[in-house]
Amino acid sequence: MVAKTPTAQPGRSSEKKLGPSYQFQWQNPHLLKSIYPARERKLLEFLLVFDEIDTVKEYNQKNLDAVVQEYKRLPAKLPNAIEGEPADETGKKLKLGQWHIDKFKKAMEKGVNTGEVLNRSDARIVKQAVMFFKMVQKFNKYKVLDQRGLLELVVEKFHQEPNRYPEWLVYMVIHFSGMRYKSAHASYYDPKNLVKVLRPEIKNLSDDQALVELVKLKDELEKAGSPIPDWAWQEIVRLTPLRLKYAQEDWETFKKDLVSAEDHRWNQILRDWEVDITQWRKKHWETYSLIVTRAVCNEIGEHIQHLRGLHTSAGVSRKTDWYNKQKTPGAYFMHQDSETDFQPGAAIFWMGWYLPPPGDHEVVRKLSNIDLTGHISPGKVKHGTPKFREEWTTWDSNNMFIRTRKLKPTQADKTQKRNLKKGITLNKQK
């Protein structure tokens, strides 16, 4: 399923964050290491994707004779592997999009450099070989760069063609490239709410002012001889933008020591503060601030829609209904039929059958105007699963889709059925 809504005018700007040393969490080396495990890889991939688009466009417009001349100037042997391929945190190697090296070797075998007449297939391979070599050159240029160098090239692309890259894309590429894939829930709590608990006489603070007050309170309590426990301060740092300045290498791995009465008092204070694990959603909608330290697919989609001036429903399940009910001209919620359905800013919904059933926040609900189940792939039967006697039967129960099918009888089932007809009872022997 693909859904699209027109971009609204947000009408507000981001609030500046406290951070004498760092303005964004990808600038802090400790935060960069833990929050962005695939930072360099994803920035590199972004550069390569748009380079590939531009390279294909360029060579589709070139005269074939000119491309052949370029081909003849290539090294005698095209690379059969890309040296120094970076790997992500899972060890998976990066590949250059759709470039398949084995195809280009065929052009070499044809003896193009000897002047052999090219047929249409050869010409296509030669063009691909030249484009591939250009991409390898770009890859080799990028792979030696660190995050800062790659980010400078990304920003340079944005400045060179500002109309090509919408503002929401610029924001997401800069701030979310390489971010770890884990729910944003409980990754942020509003510092103003904590100040209200600790300093109820102070009112109407901005986020930055609240952070300053927390630091002042910490210093005052230390001077008074009743400091905030180290573990409690680390938790405050972890869950607020104070991490920009105060996060150390162990900013997420500290141990909570509940030993003294003061420890237990602060534990209760923080528990009372951490009451809504989804505070990041409201804060980002209000300020566009980069406050989460992790996110999953639908949460990333929510950030994008906020930047486009749209406040969607929370969770995957409720989002489908939200998109389906949009009446704004230009909005749609449909099964995709062609590439033109995938417009910038569109959200994509993936559906599949699950056992055990998915959680309430992600289950597919019935929609009155769209046939959902008819477009879901039946999927492959797992290895070792018995074959089935009939196709799936699908129905909806309490607005949720369920499907079943009967197992094909095994040889043991057939033998038992025959024996029962003959009146034979088989007893298992130990």
The per-residue pLDDT for range 387-418, each reduced to its tens digit, is 555 667 776 777 777 777 777 777 777 777 77
Say how far apart CA 348 and CA 346 lie, in whole Å.
7
CA angle 86/89/91 to nearest 5° reads 60
What angle do helix axes 101-109 and 120-142 make, rounded to 10 degrees?
130
For the cut 90, the answer to whether the pLDDT of residue 210 exceeds it is: yes
Which pLDDT value is given to residue 77? Answer: 56
- 81-95, 123-137, 288-302, 329-343: segment of lowest average pLDDT: 81-95
Separation CA 191–CA 207 (nearest Å): 7
Per-residue pLDDT tens for 328-353? 777 788 888 888 888 877 888 877 77
Stronger pLDDT, 416 or 14, i.e. the higher one: 416
pLDDT of residue 69 exceeding 90, the answer is no
pLDDT at residue 121 in the model: 61
d(CA 408, CA 386): 7
The DSSP symbol for 400 reads E
Phi/psi at 100 (nearest 5 deg)? -115, 115
Angle at 55 between CA 60 and CA 4, to 5 degrees: 95
Q: Average per-residue pLDDT in the chain?
A: 79
The two structure tokens encoding residue 57: 């466009």
Rg (CA), the chain: 29
DSSP assignment letter at 81: S
Query: What phi-psi label fits residue 190: left (phi over 0), alpha (psi between -120 and 50 degrees) or beta?
Result: beta
Cα–Cα distances in angstroms (integers) from residue 193 to residues 89, 116, 196, 205, 222, in the given order: 36, 76, 5, 10, 22
Give pLDDT, residue 333.
81
Tell me which residue of 144, 138, 129 sits closest to 52, measured CA to CA. Answer: 138
